[in-house]
Amino acid sequence: MKLDLESDVHYYESFLNQKTAHELYEYLLKKQQVDIPHSMLVQGERLRYNFGKLTFIDENLLRVDVFPEVQMGRTTAWPEELKNLKKEVESLAGKEFQIGVCIFYPDGISGVDYHSDLPAIGDTNCLPSLSLGEERQFSLRHIASQKEFHIELKNGSLIIMGDKTQDLYEHALLTNPIYKNGRINITFRQYGFSAD
Ligand SMILES: O=C(O)CCC(=O)C(=O)O
């Protein structure tokens, strides 16, 4: 379903069925320990955050250490268990994603404020984002008009922020204490820039 916005944003409510989504959530918690709180060294000081983070990276990039752990937090090669999912996302989006940023929000006290994902390590003109666990409200705010759009992201859903979304909108997972359970999000990211 295309969302009623000025840029290309598509929402796939049942990208994964409930059973698969639940199994993936459990796998990421139990085997990959995405709930380990994110921490980073900033000017010699270790900052700790109220969310977990683990970044999956293509092996060739991991080998050349493009993403040092002190900057990125925990990183690991894409595990076998996620490779099919990665392929399915790539085939739907028509792009390859070298990086998967996996965030664990323990409850509604944890979120991320409005921001745009401007190109840094790669193009951000296509950002698929998978939701697992607690259904949470996701918000997009039109930069020029400040008009907000809200959508509930279901367990197993995929939202793809396409062309112009990062230029025209900011997005957020606003904190709200009504949410009591954990949620995992994986955003699929490109490394590098295409010529066009
Ligand atoms: O958890 C989410 O759905 C939002 C993640 C996000 O805003 C981001 O990765 O830039």
What's the CA-to-centroid distance between 187 and ligand 1, angstroms?
Answer: 7
**Could you say which DSSP state residue 30 is in?**
H
Looking at ligand 1, which residue's alpha carbon is closest to its atom 9? 187
Identify the CA nearest to 110 among candidates 182, 167, 41. 182
Quick check: 61 pLDDT over 70?
A: yes
Q: For ligand 1, what atom is nearest to the CA of residue 187? A: 9
DSSP string, 144-157: TT--EEEEEE-TT-
Rounded to 5 degrees, φ, ψ at 176 are -165, 115
Cα gap 117→124, rounded to integer Å = 7
Please give the angle made by the CA atoms of 147, 123 and 140, to the nearest 5 degrees: 15
What's the CA-to-centroid distance between 172 and ligand 1, angstroms?
Answer: 7
Supply the CATH classification number for the domain 9-36+47-189: 2.60.120.590
Residue list, ligand 1 pocket, CB within 6 Å: 101, 103, 112, 117, 129, 138, 171, 173, 185, 187
pLDDT tens track for 19-44:
999 999 999 999 999 999 988 888 88
pLDDT tens track for 72-92:
889 999 999 999 999 999 999
Instruction: Using a pLDDT cut of 70, give the percent of the chain over it.
Output: 99
Which runs of E-coded beta strand occur in the chain? 9-12, 37-42, 45-57, 75-77, 99-105, 112-115, 127-133, 136-142, 148-153, 158-161, 169-173, 183-189
